[in-house]
Chain A
Amino acid sequence: MIARPREPKGTPRQRALIEITTLVTEAPWRVHRVAELDDDALLHTIALSSYFGHLNRIADAVAVPLDFTVRHAPPATDPTVPALAPAPSHRAGEPVLPLARRPATAAAIEAWHAHVFDRDAPLSRDERAHLQGWVAAWLGDPRRAAPAGTSDADLRRLAELVTLAPWQLSDEVFAPLRARGWDDAKLFDAVVTASTAGMISRLHVALVAVG
């Protein structure tokens, strides 16, 4: 069922969960209601998939080994798999299913967002604003725009891979930033900032797209 998420099997509700999860992960601007999931279940699916994508990105960037007992070993990562396509346009509008329907989740994400974005180091606030704006654009979120002015191509490349192809993260991607003196803490901050921005934009765009 999970090995080929694009050929879903299982019950109609399971297939609906896989369909929505796939859209949230690959094209949140295409999320739609499904008969098998009521609004609360749909919101939970969207929020959970958005959140778990952050864990995936951190695991990929840090390359932490799997330390759980699993019945089926995951396949080896294929870095040749193409990146996800960016959003074709902004998805304007307000969330049809506001996250406030899950107040504990909304409060937790707000606290997380504040921790990542309301600080001056290791990344500067300007670097955070750039990351947030780029990520928002790739995911179709109209609420943020990268500041005007010269952008950091190496940082942008890192953010693009975190957002659209985390399986392609490698030491080669970190190398130009390391060459400038960025230590692991600053690189991690960049990954976390991009991943957090991605989770929040992905969640917002999907909740707007539900329609």
Chain B
Amino acid sequence: MGLGYVDHEHSTGVLREIYERMLARPMPPAYKPRHGGVAGIITAHALDPLLIPKVFGTSTTLNGAGPLTWPERELVNATTSRLNQCLY
């Protein structure tokens, strides 16, 4: 079920360049996926590569800044996901 997406291994061109930029971002270990590549929630946006820096640039302003503390931000994110019945 679901729409297609392209993972890092199979990406080319603009999408590959964007994935490389995303991988180069500093990130807490807890946010790094098990496979060590680009997180699934990023590759889920593969059908619109130029949207990726817009969405995750917004994340930086919200998940990488206060005044909510990191545990509080995680609480907000996890609660939102639970209410939306989403794995993420």
Contacts and interface: CB of A to CB of B under 8 A. Distances in A.
B72 A25 contact: no
Contacts of A49: 76-77, 79-80
15 contacts: A2-B82, A40-B67, A44-B68, A52-B77, A56-B84, A65-B40, A68-B33, A68-B34, A68-B39, A81-B85, A111-B54, A112-B57, A171-B2, A184-B47, A188-B47
Contact of A44 (B31, B62, B83): B62
Interface of B: 1-5, 30-31, 33-35, 39-41, 43-45, 47-48, 50-51, 54-55, 57-63, 65-68, 72-73, 75-88
Given A1-B75, A44-B62, A111-B57, A55 B68 contact: no
Q: Name which of A65, A68, A189, A192 has the most chain B CB atoms within 10 A of its CB.
A: A68
A176 to B, nearest CB: 15
A56 B30 CA distance: 19
Contacts of A204: none
A47 B55 CA distance: 13
B61 A192 contact: no
Interface stretch (A15-23, A88-96, A142-150): A15-23
B2 A55 contact: no
Interface of A: 1-3, 5, 13-14, 17-18, 21-22, 24-26, 38, 40-41, 44-45, 47-49, 51-69, 74, 77-78, 81, 102, 104-105, 108-109, 111-112, 115-116, 166-167, 170-171, 174, 184-185, 187-189, 191-192
A146 B86 CA distance: 29
A28 to B, nearest CB: 12
A183 to B, nearest CB: 9
Contact of B86 (A102, A112, A166, A191): A166
Contacts of B77: 48-49, 52
Contacts of B85: 60, 77-78, 81, 166-167
A64 B76 CA distance: 21
A193 B88 CA distance: 20
A65 B48 CA distance: 19
B62 A67 contact: no
A182 to B, nearest CB: 11
Contact of B3 (A25, A56, A115, A187): A187
Contacts of A3: 82
A14 B39 contact: no
Q: Name which of A25, A49, A67, A192 has the most chain B CB atoms within 10 A of its CB.
A: A67
A188 B3 contact: yes
Contact of B83 (A5, A45, A112, A192): A5
